[in-house]
A and B are shown apart, each in its own frame.
Chain A
Amino acid sequence: MTRHVVAKARDIAPGSSQIVEVGGREIGVFNVAGDYYALANRCPHAGADLCKGFITGLALSDGPNKYRLERKGEFLRCPFHGWEFEIRTGQSWCDPKSMRVRQFKVDVAPGETLVKGPYVAESFPVKVEEEYIVIDI
């Protein structure tokens, strides 16, 4: 396991995401209401760049012609065929048992602890006063 420092925490605001590269693979880092999640940028259905899809909520209904959107910002819609994945778990909404996106462990760490190392930070310097997104792979 190597600790990869992939982004400054404040660059990924709640409701937004960033695609980072870690050891040659693309990973989407999402901020859902202050918590960070990391998902492989590869749809388990047919390989689309999943993390480039819309961040959205869940369309639900209490019966025909009743519409509501719940859990706004907690789901990701694949840009290829529209399948929905829960960002927190990586699970497909329609087929939760057998379809899920690969997830990675993600932490927020103060620069102060990181400067002691060891870590890999590919594209930027780590400063003591910032907080960083760290992925372990």
Chain B
Amino acid sequence: MKLPLEGAIDCDVHLSVPNVATLLPYMSDYWSDQLVTRYIDRAGFNLTSYPPRSPLTVRDDWRAAPGRPTGLAALQADVLDPGRLSGAICHTMHGAMALFNEDMGAEFCKAINAWVAKEWLDREPRLRASILVHAQNPALAVEEIERCAADKRFVAVLLPVMGDSPLGRRIYWPIYEACERHGLSLAVHAGSTYRNPPTAAGWPSYQSEDYMLQSSAFENLIVGFLAEGVFQKFPGLKLVCMESGFTWMPTFLWRTSKTWRGVRTEVPWLDRVPAEIIREHVRLTLQPVDAPRDPKILNKIFEQIACDDMIVYSSDYPHGHFDGDNGLPEGLSPELLRKIAIDNPRAAFPRLATVDAPDTKETV
């Protein structure tokens, strides 16, 4: 089964760097030499959040196999063509995000962004991508944003939801300032650099806990953005939560809005009810849909979110969350499906305006 409508935009498609050797041509002589002579090029650089054999990492029928296309051809055959997509936004969650050496981290990000542009964006006009940055040093992250921003095919800046500190803190604001200035959305993706335990109470025993509790990290993220006043400071900023789930949103809207009335004097810049600010600035990707299959329940959740602009289509390819080619859930109205698949992505990522004119690679 195909997507029920043509021209959708898939906001969360994953690219994985096959190995470090792939990136060496995109690095300076110094770093390329360092990685080789220190045998770092042999390390996998896979984040622990994605165990290689888990279906959550790659769906079974999307795994490499004899006769299966690979790389870009696989992405075209699995997602772009059967989905009749007009565009897809690629994100490269890479172990470089977790490096403590921020110079090496920044070099990796630079190489990965260059690799994405050359190996993917240059070869497939429907693709767009996020800029990978190493958030530990916001000044270096901003340098990388400035370097890539001229290429309009980069539509967002990518950060993992759990890093050194809560992302709302002022230390990260230069990154958001750069996003706002360049019209880049902020794509915050599930995942951790494991500087801190993935649960607020400490280290869990199992990967399942880590995975299930990702949504709570997104609640932390949004509360932090509200309380720190990020949206007041950067009114043009769009925050897109990637792979966050969304069925927790109704209770979250109620809880933040109710509590605000009693505690707002501590953060007086929070001058509107939080639900309103969230509905204006925060977007969530569709997959993984964490609701039961019953369309009545799903529609109820949309009714409670009370904002048809909030959810943007994603397949989360190649992670396995659904069977077949249709990542859109059953039972939603055609109007809502159209918003989720087409209108909302375009509003959440203003740089997608160039999607239908893919050859216009402008410079600022």
Chain A interface (Cβ within 8 Å of chain B)?
Answer: 59-68, 81-84, 92, 94-95
A64 adjacent to B271 (CB under 8 Å):
no
Q: Is B35 an interface residue (CB 8 A)?
A: no
With A60-B268, A94-B273 known as contacts, the answer to whether A65 contacts B262 (CB < 8 A) is no
- How near does chain A come to B276, taking the closest CB pair, in angstroms? 12
A64 adjacent to B228 (CB under 8 Å):
yes
> Which parts of B254-297 form the interface with A (CB within 8 Å)?
260-265, 268-269, 271, 273
- Contact partner, A94, options B230, B233, B260, Cβ 8 Å: B260
A94 adjacent to B271 (CB under 8 Å):
no
Q: Look across to chain B and name the residue whose beta carbon is closest to the beta carbon of A99.
A: B261
Chain A residues within an 8 Å CB radius of B271:
60-61
B269 adjacent to A94 (CB under 8 Å):
no
Q: Look across to chain B and name the residue whose beta carbon is closest to the beta carbon of A77.
A: B265
Chain A residues within an 8 Å CB radius of B170:
64-65
Q: Is B232 an interface residue (CB 8 A)?
A: yes
Complex Cα spacing A94 to B262, Å = 9
Complex Cα spacing A68 to B269, Å = 10
A63, A64, A84, A95: most-surrounded residue (chain B CB, <10 A): A64
B269 adjacent to A66 (CB under 8 Å):
yes
A81 adjacent to B261 (CB under 8 Å):
yes
- Contact partner, B269, options A63, A81, A82, A92, Cβ 8 Å: A63
Q: Is B229 an interface residue (CB 8 A)?
A: yes
A82 adjacent to B229 (CB under 8 Å):
no
A82 adjacent to B262 (CB under 8 Å):
yes
Complex Cα spacing A23 to B269, Å = 43
- How near does chain A come to B289, taking the closest CB pair, in angstroms? 33
Complex Cα spacing A65 to B170, Å = 10
- How near does chain B come to A128, taking the closest CB pair, in angstroms? 45
Q: Look across to chain B and name the residue whose beta carbon is closest to the beta carbon of A82.
A: B262
A61 adjacent to B260 (CB under 8 Å):
no
Complex Cα spacing A68 to B264, Å = 13
A95 adjacent to B233 (CB under 8 Å):
no
- How near does chain A come to B174, taking the closest CB pair, in angstroms? 14
Q: Look across to chain A and name the residue whose beta carbon is closest to the beta carbon of B272.
A: A94
Complex Cα spacing A116 to B33, Å = 103
**Contacts A/B (CB < 8 Å), 7 sampled:** A59-B265, A60-B271, A61-B268, A61-B271, A63-B269, A68-B268, A84-B265
Complex Cα spacing A61 to B233, Å = 12
Q: Look across to chain A and name the residue whose beta carbon is closest to the beta carbon of B273.
A: A94
Chain A residues within an 8 Å CB radius of B233:
63-64
A67 adjacent to B268 (CB under 8 Å):
yes
Chain A residues within an 8 Å CB radius of B260:
94
Chain A residues within an 8 Å CB radius of B228:
64
Chain B residues within an 8 Å CB radius of A63:
229, 232-233, 269
A83 adjacent to B262 (CB under 8 Å):
yes
Complex Cα spacing A94 to B257, Å = 10
With A63-B232, A64-B228, A65-B229 known as contacts, the answer to whether A94 contacts B268 (CB < 8 A) is no
Chain B residues within an 8 Å CB radius of A64:
170, 228-230, 232-233, 269
Q: Look across to chain A and name the residue whose beta carbon is closest to the beta carbon of B233.
A: A64
- How near does chain A come to B259, taking the closest CB pair, in angstroms? 9
Contact with A along B112-143 (1 / 0, CB 8 A): 00000000000000000000000000000000
Chain B residues within an 8 Å CB radius of A65:
170, 229, 269
Complex Cα spacing A61 to B262, Å = 17
Q: Look across to chain A and name the residue whose beta carbon is closest to the beta carbon of B234.
A: A64
> Which parts of B216-269 form the interface with A (CB within 8 Å)?
228-230, 232-233, 260-265, 268-269
Chain B residues within an 8 Å CB radius of A66:
269
Q: Look across to chain B and name the residue whose beta carbon is closest to the beta carbon of A68.
A: B268
Chain B residues within an 8 Å CB radius of A94:
260-261, 264, 273
Complex Cα spacing A67 to B229, Å = 12
Complex Cα spacing A84 to B261, Å = 8
| 3 nearest A-B pairs in the assembled complex, by CB-CB distance | A64-B229, A82-B262, A59-B265
Complex Cα spacing A64 to B271, Å = 11
Complex Cα spacing A25 to B228, Å = 43
